[in-house]
Structure 1
């Protein structure tokens, strides 16, 4: 995946968050302040992989300071999405 502008990725992140949590979140909310847990992290990572066509590590979802920061990391491309190995 080539890098995408963060403002293009953020709407996808927020839409996926709304689907996972059943309510909208603010861009500056963190995963945990939105009520996240391990099951929600896996679900969110899977949704983002489908919508953005890139690998999304659960650890990235858990460690991002906010949904804006998560979008920025994802927009940076696979080298910055927490990916450590290519799918084989």
Structure 2
């Protein structure tokens, strides 16, 4: 089993104002005690540049209490369920 790192920017789109953007991040892969891959919240946008489009890059701690955390997990679930390339990389099928 491999691992996948996912960053997602949540906020308003279609304008040049990024004030409401927040970036979450997670790692999906093997975790001790879990028979399959598990998702773990990490610092958002850690390897990304400093472009304003990322808005506020949330630390893991900030992300855990952020009101949009559930939306981020929905996006992660959608990617893992529907993106064949990501799934193939993660579990080989």
Q: TM-score w.r.t. structure 2 length?
A: 0.29
State TM-score, norm by structure 1: 0.30
**Larger RCO (CA within 8 A; separation ≥ 6):** 1
Q: Looking at secondary structure, tell me which structure has more helix per residue.
A: 1
Structure 1 or 2: more strand by fraction: 2
Higher-Rg member (1/2): 2
